[in-house]
Amino acid sequence: MNISETGIELIKKFEGCVLKAYKCPAGVWTIGYGHTSGVKEGQTITKAEAEDYLKQDLTTFETYVSNLVTVAINQNQFDALVSFCYNLGPGNLKSSTLLKLLNAKNYSEAAEQFDRWIYAGGKKLSGLVKRRAAEKALFLQPFNTTSYKVIATVLNVRKKPGINNKILKVLYKNDIVKISETSGNWGKLSDNTGWISLKYLKKI
């Protein structure tokens, strides 16, 4: 599973984008959207480099969450956990009561654990209170999808909405797909593998 645009926007909102290295509340040199690996005092980057760092980091944290969670979770729950892990690190997720409860299928009790992770350097931070609340709300939000049948002989799956965007793969007539969100005449596949034209789908 990959993080969705909803999860990415949540991370961007709370991390912010800073193009010059700074020390976070935990005393770690940070740049871009909360990137910390190899960051040095005085370092500067471009907005494009910040986006690249974010993509790299997201891939890493997606893998951590996928490896640590052993039960079925939906897209919203995955997104919330990637944000949590991105902010706090995989070690904290691995040792957390949140993960233990989740892997025991105690989903509602696991959600309550987000509220505990609001401290940095021994101090309660309002930014962390707000972030944990947003992650908890996303974790608890039902993930709705709509099922469709492909009616075209061949249907391209594209990276973004629009016929000029890169083709990622191909679907065929009578394939069944699930759409999690729409943008104009385009629908996003629920497994986050791309966008397809709704004109060539029939709701089932």
Annotated catalytic residue within 17, 24, 49, 109: 24
Which of 133, 98, 90, 99 has the alpha carbon at shortest distance from 115?
Answer: 133
Would you say residue 118 has pLDDT above 80? yes
- How many structural domains comprise the chain? 2
Contact 139, 81 (CB under 8 A): yes
Q: Answer yes or no: do 104 and 152 share one domain.
A: no
Would you say residue 192 has pLDDT above 80? no
Tokens 């469709």 label which residue? Answer: 148
Q: Which amino acid appears at position 11 of this protein?
A: I
Single out the residue in 95, 125, 140 at which a domain terminates.
140
Residue-range definition of the domain harbouring residue 105: 5-140
pLDDT tens for 63-113 read 999 999 999 888 899 999 999 999 999 999 999 999 999 999 999 999 999
Q: Answer yes or no: do 119 and 157 share one domain.
A: no
Q: What integer pLDDT is reported at residue 144 of this predicted model? A: 78
Mean pLDDT, residues 58-62: 96
Q: Answer yes or no: do 173 and 197 share one domain.
A: yes
Q: Answer yes or no: do 107 and 156 share one domain.
A: no
Please tell me what DSSP assigns to residue 110: H
Annotated catalytic residue within 15, 62, 85, 135: 15
Would you say residue 191 has pLDDT above 80? no
Active site residue 109: no
Active site residue 24: yes
